[in-house]
């Protein structure tokens, strides 16, 4: 990647708002396919590398293959599960899941 470019410069070169590019770079949002192509061309890398699917992550490639046939509701459930595995978002994911299903949020056990 071209380390000498700022976020604003890359964003401008690929036709994205700097804030939008920042969200993509932080992993908060995925780029559209046309934006992904422009980013890859500008940064001189392939899409697998940009998305973290390079040769160094065979487990991730297997996971992507495994989820391709899931329904929309299964993907939502998988997304909630993945978020719950991240310590910072665990409580939020559980609360969101409970609200989505109409259940009361899980109470935190003392000492947990």
Residues in the chain: 112
User: So what's the pLDDT on residue 46?
Assistant: 85
The CA distance from 39 to 51, in Å, is 11
User: So what's the pLDDT on residue 108?
Assistant: 47
User: So what's the pLDDT on residue 112?
Assistant: 46
Q: Which long-range contacts (CB under 8 A, 24 or more apart) does 92-98 make?
A: none
Fold of 7-57: 434 Repressor (Amino-terminal Domain) (1.10.260)
- Residue 77 pLDDT exceeds 90: yes
DSSP 46: -
Domain ranges of the chain: 7-57, 69-101
Confidence of residue 12 (pLDDT cuts 50, 70, 90): very high
pTM of the model: 0.46
Give yes or no for a contact between 14 and 39, defined as CB atoms under 8 angstroms apart: yes
């Amino acid at each position: 990647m071209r380390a000498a470019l700022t976020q604003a410069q890359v964003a401008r070169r690929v036709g994205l708002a700097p804030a939008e590019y920042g969200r993509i770079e932080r992993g908060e949002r995925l780029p559209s396919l046309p934006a992904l192509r422009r980013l890859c061309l500008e940064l001189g890398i392939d899409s697998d590398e940009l998305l973290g699917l390079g040769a160094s992550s065979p487990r991730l490639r297997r996971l992507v293959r495994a989820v391709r046939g899931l329904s929309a509701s299964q993907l939502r459930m998988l997304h909630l599960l993945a978020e719950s595995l991240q310590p910072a978002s665990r409580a939020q994911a559980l609360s969101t899941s409970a609200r989505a299903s109409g259940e009361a949020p899980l109470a935190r056990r003392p000492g947990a």
